[in-house]
Amino acid sequence: MNQSLDDLMQNASQLLTDMDYLGSEALCLEALALAKEAGDWTAYARIVLPLQECRRQRRLTAADTAVQLGTNACWNDPRDGCVAVTKPLDRSAAEGIARSALEYKRQVEVLWCDNETREDTWTLATLGDIQVRCSVPAPDADWVNQRLSPGDDGFAAAGHWFIAASEALGDAALHQIEAPLGSLDRVEQLEAMLAMVGDHEILHQRLADAARAMPLGQPT
């Protein structure tokens, strides 16, 4: 079991060095599952760090490539970038974009915003089984409903809005964690939230803390 973990993390580290963030992330998740099954919480906590780095780099790659805030028409762009999906598209469309990005191994970050782009406040909601919602001020109208690339007016500001909105949704998810430190429930609640808001760095840090607080050798 330990050799399997070592092999997985050695390969994950190499993929991270090679900037294959999706491949490295997949191996980190596999290693987390093995460590959890074995009750090796020290290894589990250690694995969270490269997982966090994979996701951080993936988000930075997307944000440095293109940003689209609002989808007043069908969005079917296979390239890397950040997209905030809005009405008239729906939650299932946002989920489809996220699935397609994974299938084609693209660095795409997806936010579902349950609102029309003309509204003054945008309502962010998680994709997945657990619903977390929060509201943020709408982006500048000049940035909306267009794909912005480096060199375009508003590109940097739109990227900052997207990342700040993602952080706000992650903060809202973190506030829903209720299980006490040292319990398996806390680990699993944090895992569930990270499955929906995978780029939130503090959620990763709290997951590592939760693993370190677990009784050593307690398998799941």
pLDDT in tens, 50-64: 999 999 999 999 999
Over residues 138-155, mean pLDDT: 95
CA dihedral over 18, 22, 23, 26, signed as positive or negative: positive
| pLDDT beyond 70 at 81 | yes
Q: Where are the domains of the chain?
A: 2-60+179-212, 65-174
Residue 1: per-residue pLDDT:
44
Residue type present at position 114: D
